[in-house]
Structure 1
Amino acid sequence: MRKITIAIDGYSSTGKSTVAKQLADYLGYVYVDTGAMYRAITLYAIRAGIITAEALDKDHLIAALPEITVAFHYDSDSGTSQVLLNGERVGSAIRTLEVSEHVSPVAAIPEVRKKLVAIQHRMGQEGGIVMDGRDIGTVVFPNAELKIFMTADAAERAKRRYLELKARGDDITYDEVYENVTERDRIDTTRADSPLVKAADAIEIDNTETNLEDQFHTILQLAKDRIAGRV
């Protein structure tokens, strides 16, 4: 059975990572969360004082890029891929609202994108990969056999993210999360380098009112059709 490349793009908090993981597990493919890679660099910048409440020092971050390594490690005990920042597992540390507030400006820096896209290309050379992000179907894998573009109402996405953060014990308000979601949308869609856009041949899925199980089976069938050469 041939192995294909599946690119899943879309707005924040649309469940891209969830469905990408489900697909990869079902198909026996490699899963790569590119958003986690940008979050890891953002975390590095916060820890290094390159990002403060007042500003992001782009030149300092660009100069530090050669010192930053981002990789994935498959944890057989948990059955998940763990993102590593300079060898450190940072899966939980990159999911805070502080990182979320700064990741879009970091991801808009061309030098950061160039570094991570090169890593992503190497990961997907053999096919058999599910990758999610903002520019996978347009920049990283423009020839992917299956491209999905996920969207949902901003208020619904903010609600999902708010409940997720509250469940983790984060002290935040819905209004803070909604502001973060909409600001990330603005930055992601208007940045000069690789903005978030739907690829011409991508299939759009609006999951504002769709449950996770139905969404998974819809996308899984699309993948099976591509693998079998039916489309």
Structure 2
Amino acid sequence: MRLLRSFVTPLGFIVAISFCANWFARADTSPEHNAGGSVGAVAPIFRQLVYFRVPVSFVSVFEETHGDRYIHEWVLSGESVSNWTQMITLTGAQNVSQRHPEATPKAFAGAIASRFQRTCPTSFSAKGIYEGQLNAQDTFILVVGCGNAPTSAGHSETAVIAVVKGENDFYTLQWAQRADATPTPKDIDVNLWAGRIKSLMPLKLCPIVAGERPPYPSCVGS
């Protein structure tokens, strides 16, 4: 996701994000959120395996580990990393807990939201939709948006982002969409975005087993 390429910023929940946790529990998970089904994706990222499900309508277009950051991007079939309408992104930030013992998924999410806000201060919107645990991992999920995102070639950009705290590293799973630009903040359809992130579940972290090779049955089958 273009706005979140440099997502590791000083931690601090400095953006006021309204919260509606009940929406995540009752979000619409009808087939429109995951047309055609999905396939499991699992990979070792720093100290843990990360598993989630990718809709079959998306294809991998970019993956990179650069120092203490990891990123993998998928877009709809026929689109590209530079010209897309929807993008799914998995990121990893190494040793966040070691460098910032006070770090929480909510604080990490706030740092991401603050980056959005700096990019589009007059058309920024944000809403938290879940705080708690997913598969025994501390998690915070929010939706952020820019009505007019300068880095998105004159489009609006909205994304649902799940931030998960691992043993030492932090991970995010994101689903973003571009649309026509608006000069004011876009309304956030919480039901839509909660349904999309739920369609990528289960999102889980697993230990790396010495000598185990893809498809990592210890994680996929657990």
- Give your verdict on TM over 0.5: no
Structure with the larger helix share: 1
Structure with the larger strand share: 2
TM-score (normalised: structure 2): 0.27
TM-score (normalised: structure 1): 0.26
**Higher RCO structure, 1 or 2 (CA under 8 Å, sep 6+):** 1
